[in-house]
Amino acid sequence: MSESLVVVNFKTYETAQGASAEDLARKMAGIETTARLVAAVSAFDVESVVEAAPGLEVWCQHLDPVGFGSNTGWLHPLTAIERGASGTLINHAEHKVSLEHVAMLLEQTPEGFSICACAANIEEARALSDLEPTFVAVEPPELIGGEISVTSADPGIVSGTAKAVKEVCSSVGVLCGAGVKTGDDVKVAVQLGASGVLLASGVTMSEDQLESLENLVYFL
Ligand code: G3P
């Protein structure tokens, strides 16, 4: 089986900001698995999480395709890289951008920097994969933060996205997310053709984050 990805989006959950982000990242770094674990953290926390959890892959949750200069409040990709980020989410359902924004970000970031473009549906996934990001993650917005995993609620969107993305560009990896909480959800995601999952509350809101992480990767 090729390497599977489990991306934990820390969002702005209180349990995954500042010192809590460092704690959660340490737990992730301690998990024994062949899966590729990624922490997508607040821009404020990139540097401290990289320091706290050596070896853990750390991504941003959003970046802006700006240059150095007069751009107040925007997130410069090269500064993120200097602080230790090796990738980013973009166009998350909670932070939508234009296709042009994604295209410019891809142009501006160096080879090897992972870009995971999020899509609400198969059509958007198809359009994004045409830009050739590293990954496209499909997440039906209505299932985000809910109790039912996309893999159970709408398996067709996962398999349909996997098929559509591969038709457009076979090198783009496909992730799915929204409501993913367990290793069984991850297993079904992989069976449906995904290379992994993107999740948040299943870990950040868990009473036992370590146990949830261990369960997520149990079969990988
Ligand atoms: O980016 C992951 C996210 O949108 C899914 O959230 O809480 O449903 O796992 P959640």
One-character DSSP codes across 68-137: SSS-TT---HHHHHHTT--EEEES-TTS---HHHHHHHHHHSPTT-EEEEEESSHHHHHHHHTT--SEEE
Decide if 92 is catalytic.
yes
128 lines ligand 1 (CB under 6 A): no
pLDDT at 1 over 50: no
- In the chain the domains, ranked by start, together with CATH numbers, are 5-216 (3.20.20.70)
Count the helix, strand and coil residues of the chain and give each as a percent rounded to the nearest 5.
Answer: 40, 15, 40
Q: What is the DSSP letter of 61?
A: S
Tell me the Cα Rg of the chain: 16
Q: Is the CB of 178 under 6 A from ligand 1?
A: yes
Q: Inform me whether the pLDDT recorded for 219 exceeds 90.
A: no
pLDDT tens digits, residue range 139-165?
Answer: 999 999 999 999 999 999 999 999 999
**pLDDT band per the 50, 70, 90 thresholds, residue 2:** low
State the DSSP H helix or E strand holding residue 53, giving kind and residue range, or none if neither.
none
Q: For residues 3-16, give the mean pLDDT.
A: 97
Q: Is 62 labeled as catalytic in the residue annotation?
A: no
9 bridge partner residues = 40
Question: What's the distance, Cα to Cα, between the start and end of the chain in Å?
Answer: 8
Q: Is 36:195 a contact under the CB 8 Å cutoff?
A: no
- For residue range 48-100, what is the model confidence (pLDDT) as tens digits? 999 999 999 999 999 999 999 999 999 999 999 999 999 999 999 999 999 99
Q: Indicate if ligand 1 lies below 6 Å from the C-beta of 201.
A: yes
Ligand 1 centroid–CA 128 distance in Å is 19
* Token duo for residue 42: 């607040």
